Amino acid sequence: PSRFAVIGHPVAHSLSPRIHAAFARQTGINLTYVAIDAAPEEFDAVLAEFAAEGGVGANITLPHKTRAAQICTHLSEAAERAGAVNTLIRSATGWHGDNTDGTGLVRDLTDRHGLDLRSRRTLLIGAGGAARGVAPALLDAGIGDLFIVNRTPERTDALADALGQPGRVHPRYFDDLRGLGSFDLIINATSATRDGGLPTLPMSLMGRRSAAVDLSYGEVAIPFLSWARAAGAHERTDGLGMLVEQAAESFQRWHQVRPETDAVYAKLREHDA
Ligand code: ATR
């Protein structure tokens, strides 16, 4: 079997091994896919060891996505724009890095949830790795203006600059939120729930046809989605669908077959409930 892995820290609770095992069964591809824990200072060595043992592809998750981008000998346009890699593909010359988070999110929102993203006035909360991973794909999907807020303003500015569309992308401060009116799409891309708690968000952000998305899933997504419910969001979703879709995109890069995601998603959702 060909060897695959997800490398992160922590990674024990990652659903990726289950998702890829399900895709492998469905498509009849013989592979192994394991979770490998690597602390930041061990990442390079762990990846080298994985390659030496015959590893041909890997998903990279927190906190290694930026470092992984630096190690690659070639980056896809999506990885280049995100400055982050979630998918490694072994080539003759080294690791080829790609990022499927953004396309995974867009696919989940449009295909699974039936949302038309075009012209949606969008608020992105956070400017870390997760935010950088999804912002380019959202712009490509045709959202309207993109407002970005982040606890550390320098990162807001850096992300806005990197996106390179100054007429459309607007960095703002948390303190400005009350004056920004309402949004059609609000995305929580912070790790604040795990890390000190979500900042207070004014209810005025939520419009009548707003969709609220938390990029995480399980318990971590509850505080933001509860706020979204109280604020009157029309649609609320966590990042479970995005997780399955980014996995399918990675699977396709590795195996040239696109797996069917609905059954896998439904199964995971059952366990989540
Ligand atoms: P990830 O890959 O999950 O995005 P990250 O790059 O460390 O991880 O980014 C975490 C994000 O959550 C950042 O936007 C971070 O804000 P800072 O850039 O100011 O650090 C945000 N974040 C984490 N804890 C937060 C908190 N308690 N309040 C507000 N934002 C928080």
Q: Kindly report, residue by residue over 67-104, the tens digit of the pLDDT.
A: 999 999 999 999 999 999 999 999 999 999 999 999 99
pLDDT tens by residue, 224-268: 999 999 999 999 999 999 999 999 999 999 999 999 999 999 999
**Where along the chain do its domains lie?**
2-99+241-272, 102-238
DSSP lists the bridge partners of residue 36 as 7
Cα–Cα distance, 132 to 244 (Å, whole number): 19
Among protein residues, the one with the nearest Cα to ligand 1's atom 5 is: 128
Q: What is the pLDDT of residue 196?
A: 75
Helix (H) or strand (E) holding 247: helix 240-255
**What is the chain's alpha carbon radius of gyration, rounded to the nearest angstrom?**
18
Distance 9 CA to ligand 1 centre (A): 16
Using CB distances shorter than 6 Å, the residues near ligand 1 are: 62, 126-131, 150-152, 155, 189-192, 195-197, 199
**Residue 89 and residue 74 in contact, taking contact as beta carbons nearer than 8 Å:** no
Active site residue 267: no
Pseudo-torsion of CA 12, 18, 21, 25, nearest 10°?
A: 160
* Length of the chain in terms of residues written: 273
Question: Which residue out of 65, 120, 132, 236 is catalytically annotated?
Answer: 65
| Assembly ipTM | 0.96
**Residue 254 and residue 57 in contact, taking contact as beta carbons nearer than 8 Å:** yes
**Residue 98 and residue 73 in contact, taking contact as beta carbons nearer than 8 Å:** no
Q: Which two tokens stand for residue 14?
A: 């990652």
Pairing of strands 55-60, 87-91: antiparallel
For the CA of 174, the nearest atom of ligand 1: 29
Specify the pTM: 0.95
Q: Matching CATH topology for 2-99+241-272 and 102-238?
A: yes
Distance 127 CA to ligand 1 centre (A): 7
Cα–Cα distance, 170 to 168 (Å, whole number): 7
pLDDT tens by residue, 181-235: 999 999 999 998 877 788 899 999 999 899 999 999 999 999 999 999 999 999 9
**Closest by Cα among 261, 223, 225, 263 to 243:** 261
Task: For the domain covering 2-99+241-272, report its CATH number.
Answer: 3.40.50.10860
For domain 102-238, give the CATH superfamily. Answer: NAD(P)-binding Rossmann-like Domain (3.40.50.720)
